[in-house]
Amino acid sequence: MDRHAMKRLQAWKGERNRKPLIIRGARQVGKTWLMKEFGRISCRNVAYVNFDNNPRMQSVFDGGYDTARLISALQIETGVRITPEDTLIIFDEVQEVPKALTSLKYFNENAPEYAIVAAGSLLGVALHEGTSFPVGKADFLDLYPLNFREFLNATGHEQLNELIGKRDVALITSFRETYIDLLKQYYYIGGMPEVVTTYLETQDFEAVRRIQKNLLTFYDQDFSKHAPVEIVPRMRMIWNAVPTQLAKENRKFVYGQIREGSRAKDFELAIQWLEDCGLLTKVYRITKPDVPLNAYMDTRSFKLYVLDVGLLGAMGDLDARTLIEGSSIFEEFKGSLTEQYVLQQLISDLGLRAFYHTTENSTGEVDFLVQRGPNVIPVEVKAAENLKSRSLRAYCDRYAPAY
């Protein structure tokens, strides 16, 4: 499976002043596979350590941060002779042994010749628990579900992906129906690696949905395992409310629609945990579309999106036939899926942070605003054939954006 993050890993390995690399991302987005596959194709040896339920490694790192001692212990644990020039050291589920995470600081300072890549699904959660983070002593790579271009490659449509990269609009338009058919598949399947693999092996949409439902159950069980018990019910309420909130015409998140009388303070911590787990993305309203965008955030107004368009459809029990063939009663939720899709591409393909904009009287909304260099770019999302947008036109008339 071709992941764009592989190029980032290869560039990291060749950096002169390389720091340990931490891969962040939700569970099941492919972090372990990516690290192992990178080691397989780029290094002679791989020393892989999984810290989940590993008391022996807990004891090793409790003994201090002498890097020579740690390398000896890692060699014994993995059975691999570790040499700086041709060995990749992998720390998986590193948040389970906080001192292993802290040790990256000492490897960077005292043994930078070793190539170390670490991953954790709950690193944001670990920060809440007081783990000492190697600030400034490690680089980061954020991994997400497969974006649409990665999905095209995975399904054998590399040339269609190359067309997008070339931005040949005329030729892309010639294959419009092919792109639309594949996009509908992507809306249903999404980009979770296990789900995509299941589809490639079976071509069975029911099997795809079973895997998605299993992943949703897995995430639900994770709430109880890692979050403070007092906020677990509220995490579930937030998580389960996202499809309903996105199905509204105005997709701003409204606490009172979760439970009558609810206020922000009742759910803020639950939302923060879901964000830190990588399961939710919060898109804030911008009061003024100027650079830098994050200086104009209205933190009281936001929309919530999940990590994957396929999982959003599974949460809403959307069946494949309705999505592929279309339905008049499906139009409103199709808009939600399309916004979810666009947001994922902005984040994972382009590396951009998204906001949205409404006028003070909320008569017009631009679905997303992104900042690229000195420019603020409005992005209007339309799921239907009619691509005219009064909101976008009004925005452009008022602010005259460069794009």
Averaged pLDDT for residues 315-340: 79
Joined together, the tokens standing for residue 271 give: 């939302």
Residue 389: how many other CB atoms lie within 10 Å: 18
For residues 332 and 285, state if they share a domain. Answer: yes
Last residue of a domain, one of 142, 172, 190: 142
Whether residue 53 is found in the same domain as residue 23? yes
In whole angstroms, what is the distance from residue 360 CA to residue 40 CA? 54
- pLDDT band of 330, cuts 50, 70, 90: low
**354-361 mean pLDDT:** 88
pLDDT at 218: 95
Distance of CA 106 to the CA centre of its chain: 29
Question: Are 69 and 180 part of one and the same domain?
Answer: no
Tell whether 321 and 297 lie within a shared domain: yes
| DSSP secondary structure, 24-76, as one string | E--TTSSHHHHHHHHHHHH-SEEEEEE-TT-HHHHHHHHT---HHHHHHHHHH
153 and 91 in a common domain: no
Task: Quick: pLDDT tens for 184-208.
Answer: 999 999 999 999 999 999 999 999 9
**Residue 383 pLDDT > 80:** no
Q: Where are the alpha helices (DSSP H) in 279-389?
A: 309-315, 320-325, 331-344
Q: What is the pLDDT of residue 328?
A: 56
Of 24, 41, 4, 142, give the one whose Cα is nearest residue 92.
Answer: 24
> CB-based burial of residue 164 (10 Å sphere; 0-12 exposed, 13-18 middle, 19+ buried)?
middle
pLDDT in tens, 303-323: 999 999 999 999 999 888 887
Q: How far apart are CA 178 and CA 247, in angstroms?
A: 27
The per-residue pLDDT for range 231-263, each reduced to its tens digit, is 999 999 999 999 999 988 889 999 999 988 888
Domain of residue 259: give its range: 148-399
b/e 212-226 (16+ beta carbons within 10 angstroms → b)? beebbeebeebbeeb
pLDDT in tens, 137-190: 999 999 999 999 999 999 999 999 999 999 999 999 999 999 999 999 999 999
> Is 98 in contact with 126 (CB distance < 8 Å)?
yes
Element (H, E) at 393: helix 390-399
Alpha carbons 280 and 85: distance in angstroms, whole number: 39
Contact between 27 and 95 (Cβ < 8 Å): no
Per-residue pLDDT tens for 12-34? Answer: 999 999 999 999 999 999 999 99
Q: Is pLDDT of 92 > 80?
A: yes
- What number is the average pLDDT over the span 284-295? 95
Looking at 107, 142, 177, the residue that finishes a domain is: 142
Distance CA(403)–CA(366), nearest Å, equals 14
Same domain, 25 and 43: yes
Q: What is the pLDDT of residue 333?
A: 76
Residue appearing with tokens 């260099």: 373
Q: What's the CA gap between 52 and 189, in Å, rounded?
A: 29
Tell me: do 199 and 80 sit in the same domain. Answer: no
Q: In terms of C-beta density within 10 A (0-12 exposed, 13-18 middle, 19 or more buried), how is residue 352 classed?
A: middle
- What mean pLDDT is reported for the chain? 92
Q: What is the CATH number of the domain that holds 134?
A: 3.40.50.300
Does position 126 have pLDDT exceeding 80, yes or no?
no
Mean pLDDT to the nearest integer, 41-69: 96
The DSSP line for 276-307 is HTTSEEEEEEESS--SSGGGGEEEEEEEEEES
**How confident is residue 390, by pLDDT bands cut at 50, 70 and 90?**
confident
Longest dimension (CA), the chain: 66
Does 127 score more than 60 pLDDT?
Answer: no
Q: Name, in order, each residue with C-beta under 8 angstroms of 361's C-beta and a sequence gap of 6 or more.
A: none
Distance separating the N- and C-terminal Cα atoms of the chain: 34
Distance of CA 86 to the CA centre of its chain: 30
Q: Please identify, among 106, 126, 142, the residue that sits at the C-terminal boundary of a domain.
A: 142
Using the predicted structure, report yes or no on whether residue 387 has a pLDDT greater than 70. no
What does the DSSP assignment read for 166-232?
A: HT-HHHHHHTHHHHHHHHHHHHHH-S-HHHHHHHHHH--HHHHHHHHHHHHHHHHHHHHHHS-GGGH
Domain count within the chain: 2
